[in-house]
Chains A and B, each alone.
Chain A
Amino acid sequence: DIQMTQSPSAISASVGDRVTITCRASQGINNYLAWFQQKPGKVPRRLIYGTFTLERGVPSRFSGSGSGTEFTLTISSLLRDDFATYYCLQHNDYPWTFGQGTTVE
C-alpha cells in the first residue's frame, strides 16, 4: 500500500495567516492527490482533486500544488471558517490511502 505522510500533525494559526500543509507519498502517484476538510462532528468535504483543481464552491484562498511524491495544500489567508482537520488522499493506486490528518487550530 502507498503510505501518505502529512506534516505537521497540527498547526497553531491565527486568522489572516498563510497556512501550508505537506503530504508525502511513499511512491509516485501521478498527481492523483486530493485534499479534504473535516470540521468537528461534520462530514468530510473534498476541496481539491488532481493536485490542483478546486471543487466547485471552494474559495480561491485554497490552492494545491506538487508533483511526484510531495504535495502541498495552501490557505493563503486563514479565515475563522477554515479551522478544521485536513486530509490528503492518493487515488492513483488501489487501495487508496489517506494521510493521518493535519489539524489547524
Chain B
Amino acid sequence: DVRLVESGGDLVQPGRSLTLSCSASGFDFAKNAVTWVRQAPGAGLEWVGLIRSNTYGATTEYATSVKGRFTFSRDDSKSVAYLQMDSLRTEDTAVYYCSSIRYFEQWGQGTRVTVSS
C-alpha cells in the first residue's frame, strides 16, 4: 500500500524549534518531490513548500510566511522527509500534512503542531 505517515507534532513554546517527519512506503520515494501543506484550526489550506527529488538536487521552495525559519530535508535511504521548524510563532499552529507522487497524489494523515506559551 502507498502510505505517508507524519510524526513529530507537539506543543511547543514560541521561539522554540520542532522537527516533523514524513515516512513513505509503497512507492519510489526517491523519485518524488515531497510537498508540505498546513491547516490552522478552522482555517483553509496553506502551502508550506516542497523539496524536490535528488535528481533535481533536492532543491527547495518555501512559502513567504516560513522562509528563513523552516527547512526541508530528505533521507532517501530511509524514505523519510523532514520539516525543521525554527523560531516558531503562535501562527504556526496547524495540522501539517506531507504529500507526494506528482506532488499531491498521496497525502499523510497530518500531525498537529501547537505553538503556545
In chain B between 5 and 56, which residues have their CB closer than 8 angstroms to a CB of chain A?
A: 37, 44-47, 49
CB-nearest residue of chain A to B102: A49
Q: Is the CB of A87 within 8 A of B45?
A: yes
| Binary contact track A74-99/B, C-beta < 8 Å → 1, others 0 | 00000000000101010100111111
| Cα–Cα distance between A91 and B49 once the two chains are bound (Å) | 11
Do A95 and B45 form a contact, CB below 8 Å, given A34-B104, A44-B97? Answer: no
Q: Is the CB of B44 within 8 A of A98?
A: yes
**How many residues of chain B get a CB closer than 8 Å to chain A's CBs?**
19
Q: Is the CB of A98 within 8 A of B64?
A: no
Do A38 and B45 form a contact, CB below 8 Å, given A1-B64, A43-B110, A95-B63? Answer: yes
Which B residues are within 8 Å of any A CB, using their own CB? 37, 44-47, 49, 61-64, 97, 102-105, 107-110
Known: A43-B107, A95-B47. 11 other contacts (CB 8 A): A34-B104, A43-B109, A44-B104, A44-B107, A87-B44, A87-B45, A95-B63, A97-B47, A98-B45, A98-B46, A101-B45
